[in-house]
Amino acid sequence: MEVQIFGIRKSADTRAALRFFAERRIRTHFVDLNERAASLGELRRFAQKVGVQGLIDRD
């Protein structure tokens, strides 16, 4: 199994997610949004799954 993580390397939540999967020896594919923005198709897929409000980081 491989988990795909979209985030920013400096984000504490992103680092926590990467550490969580690493501790459980689950492979991850990390996409740094500072290096490559999510495509329109990816954003639509995320919005369908978590809703538009789920895409907004309010912190």
The CATH number covering residue 20 comes to: 3.40.30.10
- 12 has a pLDDT exceeding 90: yes
Place of tokens 């594919």: 29
Number of folded domains that form the chain: 1
With cut-offs at 50, 70 and 90, classify the pLDDT of residue 17: very high
Average pLDDT score, the chain: 92
**For residues 1 and 27, what is the distance between their CA atoms, to the nearest angstrom?**
7
23: domain range?
A: 2-55
- 25 has a pLDDT exceeding 80: yes
Full DSSP string of 12-48: HHHHHHHHHHHHTT-EEEEEETTTSPPPHHHHHHHHH
With cut-offs at 50, 70 and 90, classify the pLDDT of residue 58: confident
Say what the pLDDT of residue 13 is: 93
